[in-house]
Amino acid sequence: MTSALLERARKIRLVCTDVDGVLTDGRLHFDGGPHHTKTFHVRDGAGIVYLQRCGLPVAFISGLASPATEARARQLGVADCHAGVADKAAVLAELCRKYGLTPDQVAHVGDDLADLPLLTRVGLACCPADAVAEVQAACHWTIPVPGGHGVLRAVAEQVLKAQDHWEAVVAQAR
């Protein structure tokens, strides 16, 4: 991580993420019924837990309403799960008010055009390697793995390293 990215990561007090295409590979599995299933990477879950243990809340901001997203948020203790959101920028503003933050204290991870209103406002804008070109151009950091393969875990590790929390996370794992 460059020194400019480290400086941005030091200021982060809230990590927001899109779900489909970031925490998942973006594919939805249908069995003919009205619901779909998703596959989440366990390392992203670990990254969320590490952030929360270190006092950094995590928020899901997804355009797709999904019981699978809500179940994963509950499982991980993510209190701020916003699924089925049309106006992601309004959710960002609401979260900043809730936590008493400015957008430069927020990181967001997104992969598609609906994330641009957040990525252009936050202090640390990140995306997976397979994000659309417009999102990659708007981001401070493109994580070198595709969506659904540990993108948020990588962001969590770098934010926690920048804030001198990583050694405590590793020590707790031993």
Residue 33 pLDDT exceeds 80: no
SS3 108: strand
pLDDT band at 27 (very low <50, low <70, confident <90, very high): confident
> What is d(CA 61, CA 35) in angstroms, rounded to the nearest whole number?
19
Per-residue pLDDT averaged across 107-115, rounded?
98
Cα dihedral 12, 95, 127, 139 sign: negative
Instruction: Tell me the CB-side half-sphere exposure of residue 128, using CA atoms within 13 A.
Output: 25
pLDDT band at 155 (very low <50, low <70, confident <90, very high): very high
| 12-21 per-position pLDDT tens digit | 999 999 999 9
| 51-110 per-position pLDDT tens digit | 999 999 999 999 999 999 999 999 999 999 999 999 999 999 999 999 999 999 999 999
pLDDT band at 37 (very low <50, low <70, confident <90, very high): confident
H/E element holding 25? none
> What is d(CA 110, CA 23) in angstroms, rounded to the nearest whole number?
9
Amino acid at residue number 58 = V
> What is d(CA 97, CA 102) in angstroms, rounded to the nearest whole number?
8
Tokens of 74: 């509950």
Percent of the chain at pLDDT > 70 equals 100
Hey, what CATH class is 3-173 in? alpha beta
